[in-house]
Structure 1
Amino acid sequence: MLNYIARRIGIGLLMLVALSVLVFVLLRLAPGDAIDAYINPAAPLSMDELAALRARLGLDQPLPVQYFGWLRAAISGDFGFSIQRAGVPVLPLVLERIGPTVLLMGTGMLLAIVLGIAAGIVSAVRRNSATDVALSVASSIGISSPAFLTALLGLYFFSVQLRWAPSGGMLTPGAPFSVSDLLSHLILPAFLLSIGHAALIMRYMRSSLLEVLNQDYVRTARAKGVREFWVIIKHATRNALLPVVTLIGSTIGIAVGGAIFLESVFNWPGMGLLLVNAVNTRDYPVIMCATLIVGACVIAVNLLTDITYAAVDPRIQVA
């Protein structure tokens, strides 16, 4: 197990390097000049001043030299300073946004897992019933709805029309901090984030559980007189969870994309909103740092998912 974890960590580090190269090159290939982000349009610079600024920032060097210079500094924890927030180090700026994003994504994924597994069990147990049909239709709608559409419709109906939840932010401006205030701002974006993932988990759980319910050991448990509730929960559900665990781990990256839309729509002060603002203002140091941290989190979650396989099904041996 330790060798497996070490090998996966090594592969993850190589993936992070590849991600950094890709993002670095794409930013340089974006329309316009990288130096434009450092220039105040109201105070244009002369050609000599532009050349001096380019040399000071290292932008006159070949692209590989620029990348390895950035990588050397990043390994030591120096991601530079934000362009739009003069004098503000990038790393603390990004790290302070991780908490709100983890809170939003964690709550959303927790809701998705609970709702998806529960709905999948009910749908499989009541196969071909009206409940099964209703849940299948709801899951199809949830899977087909893109994150930005779900966010906008949810904001319009639940905040603007029904006024059940605040329309944005993480806390009420000017009000003292309280858990109830935080939850009132959190519940709507977290629920909207969970919809698509819950629908997908429900479909996988239903399909997997239907397959398990036809296995010999389930029929044997019923023949021994085990109550149907325990047959479903103890014998069938645990063995049906393996593909669901795989799905949950693989959808974390998709959840990051959904969180970016939701944070933008609900003005949630997380990494998604920071990344969108950085892209709009061409704040390259912030983009690079935020992208790497998000990538590292996704890789870590996938590693934890692989390790969870053995806990869910002891027959699985990591190699």
Structure 2
Amino acid sequence: MLRYSLRRLIIGVGMLIALSMLIFLLLRLTPGDPIDAYIDPNVPMSPADLANLRRSLGLDQPLPLQYLDWLQNALMGNLGYSIKRLDQPVLGLVLSRIGPTVLLMGSALVIAIIAGIAVGVFSAVRRNSLADLFFSVFALVGISSPAFLSALIGLYIFSVRLHWMPSGGMLTPGEEFSVGDLIHHLILPAALLSIAQAALITRYMRASLLEVLNQDYVRTARAKGVMEFWVITKHALRNALLPIVTLVGSTIGLAIGGAIFIESVFNWPGMGLLLVDAVETRDYPVIMGATLMIGICVIVVNLLTDITYAVVDPRIKVG
């Protein structure tokens, strides 16, 4: 297990370097000159001043040397400073946004797992019924709906029309912090973010449980007179949950993509909102830092998912 984890970790580091190279290259290929993000268009600068600024920022060097310089600083924990917030280091800015994003994604993941497993089990037990058909259609709609569309519809219904939930933010401005106020702001964006994951888990849970219920050991348990409740929960459900472990890990990337839209719509102060603001203002250091941190989170979650799957199912061998 240790050898497997180390090998996956090394592969993950290689993937992070490849990701950083790709993002660095794409940012340089965007229209415009990177130096434009550092200057005030209302303040005239001479060609000599522009050349000095370009030299001080290292933008006069070839692109490979610029990347190697950034990578060397990144390995030492220095991701530079934000262009629009010159007094704030990128690392501190990114770390300050991780907490809200983890809270949002963690809550959405819990909702998705509970709802997806419960609905999937119900649909498998009541297969081909009217309820099964309804949940199947609902799951299909949930998988097909883009995150931004779900966010806008949910915001309009529950905030604008019904006034049940706040329309944005993490806390009520001007009020002291309280857990109840935080939960009140968290419920709607977390529920909307969980829709796609819950729909996927529902489909996989239903299919997996139906397959397990047709196994011989389940028929044997029923033939022995074991109550149907115990047949499902004790004999079938545990084995049916194994594919869900891998599915949850593989949908983290989907959740991160959805979180970017959810945070933008609800003005949730997390990594997604930070990344969107950085793209709009062409804040290159923040884009690189936020992307690198997101990549680290995805790789770590996938590694933990593989290890968890091997622990849950002893039949799985890692080598």
Residues 241 and 312 in structure 1, CA contact (< 8 A), matched pair in contact too: no
CA distance, structure 2, for counterparts of residue 51 and residue 287 of structure 1 = 24
Deviation at 1:95, TM superposition (A): 0.1
**Residue type matched to 2:285 in 1?**
P
State the distance in 1 between where 2:104 and 2:273 align. 12
Unaligned 5+ runs, structure 2: none
- Confirm whether residue 204 of structure 1 aligns to residue 243 of structure 2: no
Which one-letter code corresponds to 2:289 in the other structure?
Answer: C
- What is the percentage of aligned positions where both structures have the same residue? 71
Q: Distance between the aligned counterparts of 1:244 and 1:44, measured in 2?
A: 59
TM-score by length of 2: 0.99
Q: Cα RMSD between the aligned structures? A: 0.7
The equivalent of 1:63 in structure 2 is: 63
**Residue 271 of structure 2 corresponds to which residue in structure 1?**
271
TM-score by length of 1: 0.99
**Which deviations, in whole Å up to 9, do the C-alpha atoms of 1:1-22 show, x marking residues without a partner?**
0000000000000000000000
Alignment of 1:1-319 (within 5 A): 1-319=1-319
Partners of 1:313 and 1:226 in 2: CA distance: 24
Deviations along 1:110-157, one digit per CA (max 9) or x if unpaired, are 100110011000000001111111111111111111100000000000
Alignment check: 8 A CA contact 1:82 1:89 kept: yes
Which sections of structure 1, spanning at least 5 residues, go unmatched? none
Question: How many residues are matched?
Answer: 319
CA deviations over 1:56-102 (Å, ceiling 9, x no partner)? 00000000100000100000001111000012111001100000000
Deviation at residue 230 of structure 1 after TM alignment: 1.3
Measure the CA separation in 1 of the matches of 2:47 and 2:87.
25
One-letter identity of the residue aligned with 2:12: G
- Aligned equivalents of 2:81, 2:309: Cα separation in 1: 41
1:272 CA drift (Å): 0.3
Distance 1:196 1:8 in 2: 28
Per-residue CA shift, 1:178-233, capped at 9, x if unaligned?
Answer: 00000000000000000111011100100111010000011111122222111101
- Tell me, what secondary structure is at the counterpart of 2:20? helix
AA aligned opposite 2:196: G
Compute the displacement of 1:268 (Å): 0.1
Secondary structure in 2 matching 1:166? coil
Partner Cα distance (1:55, 1:39) in 2: 14
Q: For residue 44 of structure 1, report the CA deviation from its aligned partner.
A: 2.3
Which whole-Å CA distance do the structure 2 matches of 1:108 and 1:223 have between them?
40
